Amino acid sequence: MARDTISFYLNGKLERVSGPYAMGPLSDYLRYKKQQTGTKVVCAEGDCGACTVMIDRSVQKSSQEVSFHSINSCIAMVALLDGCHVVTVEGLETNGELHPVQESIVKNFGAQCGFCTPGFVMALTDLHEQKDHLKERHVKNFLTGNLCRCTGYSPIINAGLGVDKNNYVKLKDRYTEHQGYHSFKNEIRNPIHLKFNEFETEYEFVAPQNLKDAVDYISKNPTVRIISGSTDLGVQINKRKTKVHKAMSLQNIPEMYELRVSDGKIIVGARVTLSELQSVLEDNLPAFGRFLNIFASPQIKNKATLVGNIANASPIADTTPVLMALDSVLQIVGKSGSRVVALKDFYLGYKKLDLKDGEFIASVEIPIPANAIVDAFKISQRRDLDISCVNLAVVADINGRKLEKIAMSAGGVAATTIRLEVLEKKWQGQSLDYIKDDISKLDFSKFVSPLSDVRGTAEFRTRALKNLISKFFAQMSET
């Protein structure tokens, strides 16, 4: 039987949400409905981290492994948290005693105006939930999604390093068993069909139980918006006042969380987050795994999905060049069954996808090359948490000083992510010295067609791509 409410735990207490709050940001529900104002909203686009909270998705994923991770509540739709456990800064204290992270912030004078402090506390809590032995770089990496406008970063970093682990109890050990928790697990297995009216406009959110029901619903409702992590949509809702009247999530379908390595491929379901994927990439495609360190903050990667990044179809998406250079394929499902589409053939134009009415991406298959060199590059105004101006991925098989085979894919130089097939054919079988010399002579404007915008002119993007390719071959010549 379908449910008409969203159910999740908040600091150990069960919440049931319906109406407008269900399709709004979690931060609004926390601040205006629950009066838990420790969670701040500053940028409202997932950049500053003041709104950071922790969530566990184990029940939603039908997993036995409880694990809390940080997310940006300002761009997290409440409906997508069904089956989760949310812990805010108010939920860290125990019987009136500060959490060890909070104590360390106080001891190291890590707060100035204090507005960003709750977000830093939650980000550092995420760090200590995941890692027991820390170095300064770990603290800095986990704080890439948090901004202090007073610029008091040194005390905050010291606070992250100075947490007393002797008195540290992880959230998974505090918030795993609650009264009625087992019945909650059974409840979450039921599909969601939520409807409400606001200002004479009808809104609808559905989360089917299986792929068949999902296909049936989208076939009957071709204009429905399929939402994954909402890290991009959440910004549009807050900044552009985008209204989503009809939405569907695949969050209640167990196979959408599939993440495994099989027969030389990584299989990634539609609901797998970038953080979950990164842990697998580090063992199988380490260059891709490292590249995700500058893709986004932990808060974003803990919510955003690989399939969402693909379907968003941005020409400057950071994952698509690597996936395309690796010859990744998409598993598409719809009323007529399933089909496989190569990612390089998936983009038909700007924001135009090879998806028929009633179809959606169920999974991605990423080949793991046996001996090839894989590398990825990105140019952006900031190193961390910034959108690319130009990006490049290269998969190359080099024997001695000869290029046996190469695949190159770039973003930010056309209406979509593209394969640089003309250059691939031109250089295959050539020596590295020949290629380096050829790069210096070539007019790259013949191979790409970038646009000028606030992130860079067409001329800059063309030159930047040339420099990135030159950088790759310079590195190969030195090894």
Last residue of a domain, one of 367, 397, 424: 367
* Same-domain check for residues 21 and 126: no
Question: Which pLDDT belongs to residue 182?
Answer: 64
Same domain, 330 and 416: no
Q: What is the DSSP string of 418-473?
A: EE-HHHHHHHTT-BHHHHHHHHHH--GGGT-----BTTB-HHHHHHHHHHHHHHHH
35 plus 141 within the same structural domain: no
Confidence of residue 177 (pLDDT cuts 50, 70, 90): low
Q: Mean pLDDT of all residues in the chain? A: 95
pLDDT of residue 179: 54
Instruction: Say if residues 325 and 472 touch (Cβ distance below 8 Å).
Output: no
Contact (CB, 8 A) for 352 and 338:
no
409 and 318 within one domain: no
Q: How many domains does the chain have?
A: 4
| Same domain as 188, residue 65 | yes
Do both 204 and 153 map to the same domain? no
Cβ atoms of residues 385 and 406 within 8 Å: no
On whether both 312 and 225 belong to a single domain, the answer is no
Question: Is there a domain that residue 1 lies in?
Answer: no
Q: 234 and 289: one domain?
A: no
C-alpha 265/C-alpha 258 separation (Å) is 13
State the number of CA atoms in the 13 A half-sphere of 391 facing the CB. 31
For the stretch 331-383, pLDDT in tens is 999 999 999 999 999 999 999 999 999 999 999 999 999 999 999 999 998 88
Q: What is the CATH number of the domain that holds 421?
A: 3.30.390.50
Q: Are 86 and 117 in contact (CB under 8 A)?
A: no
Domain with 346 in it: what CATH number? 3.30.465.10
H or E segment and range at residue 333: strand 329-334
Residue 406 has pLDDT above 90, yes or no: yes
Are 259 and 245 in the same domain? no
Q: Which of 227, 249, 271 is the last residue of a domain?
A: 249
Identify the pLDDT of residue 161: 97
Question: 151: domain CATH number?
Answer: 1.10.150.120
What is the Cα–Cα distance from 295 to 145, expressed in whole angstroms? 11
* Other C-beta atoms lying within 10 Å of the C-beta of residue 399: 9
Give the pLDDT confidence of 80-93 residue by residue, as tens digits: 999 999 999 999 99
Q: Name the packing angle between helices 117-130 and 100-107 (round to 10°).
A: 120
What are the angstrom distances between the C-alpha of 22 and each of 7, 15, 38, 41?
10, 11, 20, 18
d(CA 328, CA 340): 10
Q: Regarding predicted confidence, which is higher, 102 or 2?
A: 102
Residues 241 and 383 in one domain: no
Asked whether residue 72 falls in the same domain as residue 114, the answer is no
